[in-house]
Structure 1
C-alpha cells in the first residue's frame, strides 16, 4: 500500500511537471546572459513559438520600496517561430517598432508620479520577463525568465567616505591605476544617490558620489551651502592615490549643474565639467565662498501652472538671469580653465535649460573661448539618467511640494540617455585621460 501510494505520488508529480513543461513550450534567449550591468544593452529573443503566432511580451520590476513598474508589447513570431526584439517590430503596447530594449525603457509605475531610482547599489534590480499567447496580457504563459540588472560590477570597490566635512561614497575600478577621477552630484533630492557614480566607475573612473545636504550630519536643506565644502571634496578626490592628475572631472545634473560650474570657476584642479540640464546662474539658493555671497536666482510662484491632472508645470518660474538684479546670480564661467559639455533636453519642463545652456555658450564665445560642446536632445525631459532607466513624466518635487511635469517623450528620452552616456564616457576620457593599468569591470 505504501509503495502504491508513493508510486501514485511520483506519477502525479510527473504529470504536473509534464504539464508545466509542455505549457512553457517556448524559451527566452538572453545575451550576454541573465545577469548584466544595468546600463548595458541586451539581445533578447524568444524561440519555440508557432510560426506567425501572436504573443505579448511583458516586463515587471519592483523597486526597493515595492513599487511596481510594468511594460508590455505585442509581437508576431516569424516563419521559424521566433521573436527577435532587435528585428521584430512591436505591433502595440508600451511602444511600437523594433526596439531591442523597449521593454526596459518603457517601464511605467503602477502608482502615478513614481520615479525609478536605485537606493542600494549592492543589490540588483530583478526584471521578470514573460511571453504570453495571443493579444491579451493574461494569455497562456509560454516562456518566462528573470534577469538580474546589477549596478556594482565585479571588481569595483565601494568605499564610504567620511573625511573632514566630506560625506559620500567612493567607487574604485579594478586594476592598479591610477585612474581619471570624477566628482558626481545630483540635484534637489538630497541624500546620496550612488547609482550613476557606480555605473560610471565600471568604465575605468574613480568616482566620488558626493552628498551635500540631507545626509548624515550635513545641512538639512540647501539654504546655507558653502563652496568650500565642494572644494574640499574636489581636493580629497584629486589627492587620492588611485586618481591620476592633474585635474578631475565633475558631473552636475539639474541644481548641481550650477554647483559644478561654480567649482570649476573659482577653485583649482577641475579639467572637465559635464552639466546635465543645469543653470548658468546660481539657482534658487545662495552659496558662499570665502566670505562672498553668490545670490540665488529666485522664482515667481505666480507662473506655476497646475494642469487638470494636478501636476504642476514650473518651467518658466525661474527669473531671467540676464535681467536687472538677477545678473548678480550669473556664474562667470569664462574664468574657468576647463572643458565644458552641456547636455540639454529640449523639452525640459523643470526649467528652461536650453536657454541657460545657450547663454553659457554665448558668454564663453564673447570672451574668446571655444572650450565647450553643447548637445541638445529633441523631445527629451529633465531627468536624463543612465541608459535604460525608464522615462518619468512627472513626480513629486521636493521644493514645490507637489508632482511636477518633467517633460519629454519616452522613446526620444531613452535614445537621449544612451547617447548621453556614450558622450560622457568619451568626453571625460578625452580630457582626463584613460589612466594606467586599467581594466574594464566585468560581471
Structure 2
C-alpha cells in the first residue's frame, strides 16, 4: 500500500482557520497494458501485461465478448505476478482456469460460450468484436476485487481494406480488396453448410495482399433456399467475374474452402478452368448431401448410413462413420484427376464431421495415379473440423443441418488453436507462391 498526502478541495472562506492536510491510505493502481493498444485485427497476436501489482501477488485475468446475437463468450486464467509486481502473459505461465501453461493468446482461443453448442462467427465485418479484459485480486474468477480493466477492439478489416458488394449476373458475393492499387492474387472463398454469406476470412485475407471474393451459394438473397443441387456453372460465373476484374492478377485464381465449401472447391478445381491453386480445409472427395452438376455431367451424393451413427457420452451424435466410402460408390467421387490446379490439403486428424484425412489421402492417390502433381497435405493432431483463422475458439459440437441433430465436430482446444495459427500462415504462403504477390507476415503466437 502507498501512503499519499491528499489536500481536500478548498471549502473555507478567508479568515477561517487552516485545516491540516489529511493522511489517507490509497492502493497502488494496477494497470492493464495491451499492445497493439486500443485495436488490432482479429488474426494479430495481442500482448497482454499487468503492472503495479504487489510482488508475487495472485491474480485472475478474465476475458469476455458478445457476438452480434448477444451470446457471451468467456475465458479466465490464474496467474502470479513476478518479484517486481509485473505480469507478462508472454513469459508467465497460467496456473489453471480455462487453460494452463505459457499461452499468451489463451484468453481468446480458450473462450467458451455461455450458451451451449454455440459457434463464434463474425457476421458483420464492418464492426469489431469488443473484448473486455479484467484483472481480479486472488484466484477466484468470480470473487476477487477488480484491480484493472481494459477494452480492446478486434477488427476484421485492416485499415484501408475495401469491401465491395457484388451482384453480377447470378453471382451474389462480396469482394475484398487491399488498400493499395492492384493487381492482386485473386481467391474465391467458400464456407460450409450454414448457407448465407460469411465474410470474415475473406476480409482478413484482403489485409494480407489478396483480392478475395466471399461467395454465397445458397440461402442468401435470391439464391436457392436449399442445397439439393449444386451447379458448377454458378461457381464458374464467379471465377470468371474474379478473373476479369481489373485489380486481380491473371492468368488464374485460387479457391479456398472449408467443410462443404472444401468439397465444392475441389469440384471447382476439377471441372473449371482458371483455377491455379486450391486450399481444401477438411473437405470431402465425394459429393455429400446433394448432386453436383456441370453441363451434362452429374455426381450423385454418397449414401448416408444412419445405422453407423453413434451416440457420445454427452448425448451428441458422432457421424464420422456415417457416410458410405466413395471407393464403394465410385459415381460419387469428384473427378479430381481432371484438375490442373496445385493443391494444399489441411486436415484435422480429430475431425468427426467426416473422414477428412482419408479423403485427403484418396485425393492424393488419384492425382498421382493420373500423373498429376502430388498435393501438399498437412495433418494436425487433435484438431477438429472447423479450422478457422487464428484465435477463434474451438467449435467442438453443434447442429448439423444434414443430420438434423447436434453432432460432435472433434478437436481439443490447445492443439486446435495451434493448428489454426499454423494453417493460416500455410495457406497464405501457398497462395502467394502459386498466385504471385508479396507475402506479408505478422508473427502469430498463441
Aligned pairs for 1:33-182 within 5 A: 33-137=37-141, 138-182=143-187
* 1:429 lines up with 2:428 in the alignment: no
Higher relative contact order (CA 8 A, sep 6+): 1
Where does structure 1 lack aligned partners over 5 or more consecutive residues? 9-17
Task: Call closer, same or farther: CA 1:100–1:439 in 2, change over 3 Å.
Answer: closer
Match of 1:225 in 2: 230
Task: Give the whole-Å Cα distance in 1 for the aligned partners of 2:384 and 2:266.
Answer: 21
1:404 to 407, 414, 420: 407
Match of 1:262 in 2: 267
Of residues 259-268 and 44-53 in structure 1, the stretch that sits farther from structure 2 once superposed is: 259-268
Q: CA deviation at 1:6?
A: 11
Output the TM-score relative to the length of structure 1.
Answer: 0.92
Match of 1:191 in 2: 196
Task: Give the whole-Å Cα distance in 2 for the aligned partners of 1:223 and 1:6.
Answer: 78
Match of 2:245 in 1: 240
Q: Matched residue pairs, number? A: 424
1:297 to 282, 298, 302: 302
Task: Call closer, same or farther: CA 1:7–1:157 in 2, change over 3 Å.
Answer: farther
* 1:204 lines up with 2:209 in the alignment: yes
Task: Give the whole-Å Cα distance in 1 for the aligned partners of 2:69 and 2:353.
Answer: 25
Aligned pairs for 1:308-327 within 5 A: 308-323=313-328, 326-327=329-330
Aligned pairs for 1:345-384 within 5 A: 345-384=348-387
Output the TM-score relative to the length of structure 2.
Answer: 0.92
Secondary structure in 1 aligned to 2:285? Answer: coil
Secondary structure in 2 aligned to 1:368? Answer: coil
* Maintained 8 Å contact 1:204/1:440: no
Secondary structure in 2 aligned to 1:365? Answer: helix
* 1:328 lines up with 2:307 in the alignment: no
Q: CA deviation at 1:23?
A: 5.9
1:340 to 336, 339, 343: 343
* Maintained 8 Å contact 2:228/2:289: no
Task: Give the whole-Å Cα distance in 1 for the aligned partners of 2:426 and 2:440.
Answer: 20
Task: Give the whole-Å Cα distance in 2 for the aligned partners of 1:439 and 1:356.
Answer: 31
How big is each residue's C-alpha offset from its partner over 1:24-77, in whole Å with a ceiling of 9 and x where there is no partner?
821111112220000100111111110110000100010011100000000010
Task: Give the whole-Å Cα distance in 1 for the aligned partners of 2:26 and 2:287.
Answer: 63
* Maintained 8 Å contact 2:286/2:302: yes
* Maintained 8 Å contact 1:174/1:440: no
Task: Call closer, same or farther: CA 1:314–1:24 in 2, change over 3 Å.
Answer: farther
* Maintained 8 Å contact 2:364/2:374: no
1:389 to 349, 371, 392: 392
* Maintained 8 Å contact 1:89/1:99: yes
Task: Call closer, same or farther: CA 1:227–1:139 in 2, change over 3 Å.
Answer: same
* Maintained 8 Å contact 2:368/2:374: no
* Maintained 8 Å contact 1:24/1:143: no
**For the pair shown, which has the larger CA radius of gyration, 1 or 2?**
2
Task: Call closer, same or farther: CA 1:265–1:54 in 2, change over 3 Å.
Answer: same
Q: CA deviation at 1:265?
A: 1.3
Match of 1:14 in 2: none
Match of 2:419 in 1: 416
Task: Give the whole-Å Cα distance in 1 for the aligned partners of 2:122 and 2:440.
Answer: 25
- How big is the alpha-carbon RMSD for the aligned residues of Structure 1 and Structure 2? 2.1
Secondary structure in 2 aligned to 1:79? Answer: coil
Runs of 4+ in 1 over 3 A off after TM superposition: 5-8, 21-24, 438-441
How big is each residue's C-alpha offset from its partner over 1:123-169, in whole Å with a ceiling of 9 and x where there is no partner?
00000000100110120111110010000111111111100000010
Task: Give the whole-Å Cα distance in 1 for the aligned partners of 2:401 and 2:304.
Answer: 15
Task: Give the whole-Å Cα distance in 1 for the aligned partners of 2:240 and 2:441.
Answer: 26
Task: Give the whole-Å Cα distance in 2 for the aligned partners of 1:327 and 1:224.
Answer: 19
How big is each residue's C-alpha offset from its partner over 1:273-318, in whole Å with a ceiling of 9 and x where there is no partner?
0000001112221111112211112211121122342211111111
Match of 1:12 in 2: none
